[in-house]
Amino acid sequence: LESSLLTKPWASVCFGESAFLAKVCFRDTGYILLISDLSSVWYESADAEAVGQRSKELNKRLTVHVSSFLHHLCDLMSPLMTGQLDTTTSFSCHHTAGGLSLHVKSMLSGLPFYWKFHCCPAPVEMVSRHLVRPLIRMSLALQYQVQKLTFLLLQKDAEIEDYRENGATLSRDRLQTEPFQEAVFQQNFMAEVRSSAS
């Protein structure tokens, strides 16, 4: 399950006024949920037996197979993870002693359906594998991309300057651009980053 979770993208989700990043993976054998508010990271991994036991506690009137519960949970979580609002389902979260509890209310087979994800703090290795390493890799890839684009812009400026020196003129003045200044661009970019972070 956790290996499959690595291939899942992070999604931005909101529960009331609280914003989180989350990723989840469902299988017939269980599920794994990872959720973070960028200060803490919590997770829950539950196998089919644990899902069956909890479903009996929370949904005494429902008698369906565990796989049906898992498929229904997956169907309820999918719109949340893609930013689509489902008015028939409500989500709420509650901080508990050392953990996070996510409550789900919906309907299944015409009866009320309840579920609780009991999340505990994620191990350091899990946080590193799912959050820290991918972020560092993406940061390095974006830095490399910026370097390549900067090089291309400087080349384009040199090419345009060569055209001008050889008598070429623009047919439309609105197409004229200022030469790219890398230092000024980096300074403005970092100022925007600091402003958005605060």
Report the distance separating Cα 59 and Cα 31, nearest Å: 18
Instruction: Please list the helix, strand and coil fractions of the chain in percent, rounded to the nearest 5, in that order.
Output: 45, 30, 25
Neighbours of 49 (CB within 10 A): 11
Tens-place pLDDT, residues 58-77: 988 887 788 888 998 999 99
Q: Residue 179 carries which side chain, given as an amino acid letter?
A: P
**Nearest CA-CA partner of 108 in 93, 91, 89:** 89
pLDDT the model gives residue 116: 94
pLDDT the model gives residue 175: 81
Q: Could you tell me what percent of the chain has a pLDDT over 70?
A: 99
Tens-place pLDDT, residues 23-39: 999 999 999 999 999 89
Q: Look at residue 4 and give its three-state secondary structure.
A: helix
Tens-place pLDDT, residues 82-131: 888 777 888 999 988 889 999 999 988 788 889 999 999 999 999 999 99
pLDDT the model gives residue 141: 95
Across 128-138, average pLDDT: 92
Question: Which strands make up the sheet holding 30-36, listed edge to edge?
Answer: 11-15, 18-27, 30-36, 41-47, 111-121, 99-108, 90-96
**Nearest CA-CA partner of 21 in 45, 44, 2, 37:** 37
Neighbours of 154 (CB within 10 A): 14
Report the distance separating Cα 191 and Cα 160, nearest Å: 29
Give 125's contacts (C-beta < 8 A, 6+ positions apart): none
Report the distance separating Cα 58 and Cα 75, nearest Å: 18
| Fold that domain 1-122 belongs to in CATH | Dna Repair Protein Xrcc4; Chain: A, domain 1 (2.170.210)
At 197, the pLDDT band (50, 70, 90 cuts) reads low
Going 126 to 130 to 38 to 50, the CA torsion angle's sign is negative
Segments of the chain assigned to CATH 2.170.210.10: 1-122
| Fold that domain 128-196 belongs to in CATH | Helix Hairpins (1.10.287)
Report the distance separating Cα 134 and Cα 18, nearest Å: 24
Segments of the chain assigned to CATH 1.10.287.450: 128-196
